Amino acid sequence: MARKHLFMVALFTCSIIAISCGSNSNSSNNDQSNAPDTSASTTATTDAGAGSAASDSAGIGKFKNVQLTLPLDQKMIASGKSIYDLKCGSCHKLSDEKLVGPGWKGVTDRRTPEWIMNFVTNTDEMIDKNKTAQSLLEICMVRMPNQNLSDDDARSVLEFMRKNDGKK
Ligand code: HEC
């Protein structure tokens, strides 16, 4: 009798496992039914990726062609610095040393102006889709939160970065 009871318990447990496995495979079925979407967006990215190197270096966002000027704009530098002090300095040093995010030294040489402005105004999409941004995430292990900069803010911060990189 006790044996039979045990058997019932075992059977019951199995069926629970079966059910939970079932729900797992259900959810993976859901994943699969979503799969066409994913592959569609992958194709889209690959399409955009036809000029992939270009889109990677310009990043994703509204800035396609940022015109830089010399000499640097002192007003933008000042406003960029105060934005840095307020919103960026807790995670970014001005040297090449990593804090939470990469140090800013040399950033205007390793990234295009478009990439920087797209990254700081469209941070989430960039981290989701841009290879360079993703590789930074792998190094830093922290996702940079969107800092809600206006276009002008972003441009000012860029000017401040250029100054930090020794441009005149
Ligand atoms: C909470 C921390 C944090 C704050 C605040 C922050 N960042 Fe970041 N930032 C990161 C991290 C982490 C990365 C690396 C990319 C990633 O993983 O998100 C990054 C990457 C960057 C990069 C790319 C650097 C490179 O070497 O290519 C730029 C540019 C940048 N941030 C600009 C800014 C600006 C501008 C601000 C302020 C308006 C700011 N960040 C505020 C954490 C932060």
Protein residue whose Cα sits closest to atom 13 of ligand 1: 101
Query: Over the stretch 25-81, which tens digit does the pLDDT of each residue have?
Result: 333 344 444 444 444 443 333 333 334 566 689 999 999 999 999 999 999 999 999
User: Both 68 and 48 in a single domain?
Assistant: no
User: Both 68 and 42 in a single domain?
Assistant: no
Ligand 1 centroid to residue 92 C-alpha, Å: 7
**Which of 76, 82, 86, 92 most suits a substitution to test ligand 1, by most atoms within 8 Å of the C-beta?**
92
Least confident segment among 30-39, 109-118, 141-150? 30-39
User: Both 32 and 82 in a single domain?
Assistant: no
User: Both 113 and 95 in a single domain?
Assistant: yes
Domain boundary among 53, 75, 96: 53
What percent of the chain shows pLDDT beyond 90?
67
CA distances from 24 to 35, 36, 42, 117 (A): 16, 20, 25, 42
Contacts of 116 (CB under 8 A, 6+ apart): 59, 107, 108, 154, 158, 161
Residue 99: give the domain boundaries: 59-164
Domain boundary among 53, 78, 93: 53
The verdict on pTM exceeding 0.85 is no
